[in-house]
C-alpha cells in the first residue's frame, strides 16, 4: 500500500526526460547570440533550482533574434503591429521553448488582473454551489479567474477574504449569502469593501442589499409572504416555522414575510412555534424535534426557511412516523435542484440560483454603476407540490 504518511525515499532526479518540443534552456542559449552579464548572473542563480526551468520572454526574444519589445508586442495583442516575418519567428520560438506568459508579471505591468474572488458560506451547500455554478460558467467563458473561499466563519472571514482580494488586486469580489445583524462586523466588512472598491475593484453582493454595492437581491420576504398566503388558501391554519439562525437577515426576512402572508388572511403563529436553527439539514432536524417536543396541538403545517432544513425536518418527522403530507404539511424555500426528487415533493419558493450567479458575473463585467449601486431584485416563485397537499379528511 502506497501510504503517503510514510517518510518516503530519497528525492532522486525524477525530472522526466525532455519531451518532443521541450528544448532546454542551454540549447536555446547556444543559438542565441547576446551574452550580457545580467543574463549570465540570472542563469547562474537559476542553476540552484535544479531542473525547474522557467522560460521568460527574454528567452523567446533571444531565440527569435528580436528585441524583448517585439516579442512582447507579438504576444500581448496590443494595438501595435509587427511584421509578418518577425511574428512568425517569435511564434516559432514560443512553440519551441514551450513559453507561457507570466500572467502575474503582466498583471503587475498593466495594473489589471482578471481575477474574481467569490465568497460563499459553504460550497458543499447546494444553495451556494448552484449559484457558484452559474457564476463560474459565465466567468470561465469570459476568461476570468474565479477564486473561491468558503467562510463558515461569517463576516470576519468575509472581511479577511476581501482584504486578500485587495492584495491580489483582484478585478472584483462577489459575496454570496446573508449577513447577520451584527452592526460592528458589518461596518468592518463595509469598510474593507470600500477600500477594495476605491483601489479599483468591483464588488457585488448576492443576497442582501446592505453593503452599499451592486446587489442581486432575492425577494425573500415577498416570496415567503406569497407562500404563506398560498398555504392558508390550501387550508392550513396552525403553523410552525423552522426559522434560520437568529440574527441572519435572510432568515429574518423569510420569517417576517411568511408571518405577514399569514396575517393577510388573519392567521397568526404561536411564537413558541417559531424555532430557530441553523440553515442546514441538522438545523432543520433539531428544530423539528423541538416543535414535536412541545406540548399542545400539533401544527398542521411547517414552514422551513430553506429546503435543506425542510429535508432535515422531513427526516425527523419520518423518524417519528408522522406522514407528510397526510399528518402534517411541510414547505421549504429555494427549490434546490438537487432536492427536487425528495419524496414527497416539496412545496417551496423557487429562486433561480444559477441565474443569480450569472447575473452577478455580468454585473461584475458591466461598467461600475455611475452614481448609486445597482440593485437587481430576483422574485421567487411559489411552487405548490405534494408536501403541503391538504388531503380529504375522509381518508
Partner DNA sequence: CCGATTTGGGAAAGCCCTTTCCCACACTAA
Partner DNA sequence: TTAGTGTGGGAAAGGGCTTTCCCAAATCGG
Residue 385 in the binding site for a second copy (CB under 8 A): no
Give the one entry of a second copy, DNA, none that residue 200 binds, where binding means its C-beta sits below a cut-off of 5 to 8 angstroms depending on kind.
a second copy
E-strand stretches of 159-207: 172-176, 202-206
**Which residue in the set 18, 24, 31, 54 belongs to the binding site for DNA (CB under 7 A)?**
54
**Which residue in the set 35, 78, 83, 200 belongs to the binding site for a second copy (CB under 8 A)?**
200
Shortest distance (Å) from residue 31 CB to DNA: 15
Question: What does each C-alpha distance from 150 to 119, 154, 381 come to in angstroms?
Answer: 6, 10, 28
Give the one entry of DNA, a second copy, none that residue 355 binds, where binding means its C-beta sits below a cut-off of 5 to 8 angstroms depending on kind.
none
Residue 272 in the binding site for DNA (CB under 7 A): no
Give the one entry of DNA, a second copy, none that residue 386 binds, where binding means its C-beta sits below a cut-off of 5 to 8 angstroms depending on kind.
none
Residue 264 in the binding site for DNA (CB under 7 A): no
Residue 262, classed as helix, strand or coil, is helix
Rounded CA separation 25/141 (Å): 34
Name which of residues 89 to 148 contact DNA (CB under 7 A). 99, 101-102, 105-106, 108-111
Shortest distance (Å) from residue 276 CB to a second copy: 20
Q: Check if the beta carbon of residue 351 is closer than 8 Å to that of residue 389.
A: no
What is the DSSP track for 44-103? HHHGGGTT-----HHHHHHHHTS-HHHHHHHHTT-S----HHHHHHHHHHHHHHT----H
Q: Which of these ranges, 37-45, 224-232, 258-266, 292-300, lies near DNA under the rule CB under 7 A? A: 37-45
C-alpha atoms less than 13 angstroms from C-alpha of 108 in its C-beta half-sphere = 4
- Residue closer to a second copy by CB (options 128, 239) is 128
Widest CA span of the chain, in angstroms?
A: 96
- Residue closer to a second copy by CB (options 65, 148) is 148
Give the one entry of DNA, a second copy, none that residue 387 binds, where binding means its C-beta sits below a cut-off of 5 to 8 angstroms depending on kind.
none
Residue 278 in the binding site for a second copy (CB under 8 A): no
Residue 321 in the binding site for a second copy (CB under 8 A): no
What burial letters (b/e) apply to 1-34, b meaning 16+ CB within 10 Å? eeeeeeeeeeeeeeeeeeeeeebeeeebbeebee
Length of the chain measured in residues: 395
Q: Check if the beta carbon of residue 142 is closer than 8 Å to that of residue 174.
A: no
Residue 83 in the binding site for DNA (CB under 7 A): yes
**Which residue in the set 67, 142, 199, 369 belongs to the binding site for DNA (CB under 7 A)?**
67
Rounded CA separation 224/201 (Å): 34
Angle between helical axes of 220-233 and 249-264 (0-180°, round to 10):
40
- Residue closer to a second copy by CB (options 221, 231) is 221
Give the one entry of DNA, a second copy, none that residue 198 binds, where binding means its C-beta sits below a cut-off of 5 to 8 angstroms depending on kind.
a second copy
# residues near a second copy by CB under 8 A: 108
Q: Which runs of consecutive H residues, i.e. helices, occur in 177-320?
A: 183-198, 220-233, 249-264, 281-293, 307-320
Name which of residues 63 to 92 contact a second copy (CB under 8 A). none
Rounded CA separation 27/30 (Å): 5
Assigned C-alpha cell, 63: 531565440
| CA angle centred on 104, ends 101 and 106, rounded to 5° | 60
- Residue closer to a second copy by CB (options 210, 384) is 210
Shortest distance (Å) from residue 207 CB to a second copy: 12
Shortest distance (Å) from residue 274 CB to a second copy: 18
Contacts with DNA, residue ranges (CB under 7 A): 37-38, 41-42, 45, 54, 56-58, 66-70, 72-73, 75-76, 78, 80-83, 85-86, 99, 101-102, 105-106, 108-111
Amino acid at each position: 500500500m502506497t501510504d503517503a504518511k510514510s517518510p518516503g525515499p530519497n528525492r532522486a532526479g525524477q525530472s522526466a526526460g525532455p519531451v518532443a518540443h521541450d528544448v532546454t534552456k542551454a540549447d536555446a542559449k547556444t543559438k542565441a547570440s547576446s551574452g550580457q552579464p545580467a543574463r549570465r548572473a540570472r542563469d547562474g542563480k537559476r542553476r540552484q533550482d535544479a531542473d525547474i526551468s522557467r522560460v521568460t520572454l527574454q528567452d523567446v526574444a533571444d531565440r527569435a533574434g528580436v528585441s524583448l519589445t517585439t516579442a512582447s508586442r507579438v504576444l500581448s495583442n496590443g494595438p501595435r503591429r509587427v511584421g509578418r516575418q518577425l511574428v512568425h519567428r517569435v511564434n516559432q520560438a514560443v512553440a519551441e521553448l514551450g513559453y507561457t506568459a507570466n500572467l502575474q508579471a503582466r498583471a503587475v505591468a498593466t495594473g489589471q488582473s482578471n481575477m474574481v474572488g467569490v465568497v460563499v458560506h459553504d460550497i458543499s451547500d447546494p444553495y451556494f454551489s448552484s449559484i457558484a455554478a452559474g457564476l463560474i460558467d459565465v466567468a470561465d467563458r469570459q476568461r476570468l479567474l474565479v477564486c473561491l473561499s468558503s467562510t463558515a466563519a461569517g463576516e470576519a472571514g468575509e472581511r479577511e477574504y476581501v482584504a486578500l482580494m485587495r492584495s491580489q488586486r483582484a478585478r472584483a469580489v462577489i459575496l454570496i449569502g446573508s449577513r447577520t445583524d451584527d452592526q460592528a462586523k458589518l461596518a468592518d466588512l463595509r469598510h474593507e469593501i470600500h477600500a477594495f472598491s476605491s483601489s479599483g475593484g468591483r464588488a457585488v453582493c448576492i443576497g442582501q442589499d446592505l453593503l452599499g454595492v451592486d446587489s442581486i437581491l432575492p425577494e425573500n420576504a415577498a416570496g415567503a409572504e406569497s407562500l404563506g398566503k398560498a398555504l392558508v388558501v390550501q387550508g392550513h391554519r396552525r403553523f410552525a416555522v423552522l426559522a434560520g439562525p437568529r440574527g441572519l437577515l435572510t432568515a429574518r426576512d423569510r420569517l417576517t414575510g411568511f408571518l405577514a402572508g399569514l396575517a393577510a388572511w388573519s392567521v397568526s403563529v404561536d411564537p413558541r412555534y417559531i424555532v430557530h436553527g441553523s440553515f442546514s439539514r441538522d438545523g432543520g432536524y433539531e428544530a423539528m424535534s423541538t416543535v414535536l417536543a412541545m406540548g399542545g396541538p400539533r401544527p398542521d403545517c411547517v414552514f422551513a426557511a430553506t429546503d435543506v432544513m425542510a429535508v432535515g425536518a422531513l427526516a425527523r418527522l419520518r423518524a417519528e412516523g408522522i406522514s407528510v403530507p397526510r399528518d402534517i404539511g411541510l414547505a421549504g424555500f429555494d427549490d434546490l435542484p438537487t432536492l427536487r426528487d425528495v419524496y414527497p415533493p416539496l412545496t417551496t419558493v423557487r429562486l433561480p440560483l444559477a441565474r443569480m450567479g450569472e447575473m452577478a458575473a455580468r454585473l461584475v463585467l458591466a461598467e461600475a454603476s455611475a452614481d448609486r449601486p445597482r440593485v437587481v431584485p430576483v422574485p421567487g416563485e411559489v411552487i405548490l407540490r405534494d408536501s403541503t397537499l391538504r388531503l380529504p379528511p375522509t381518508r
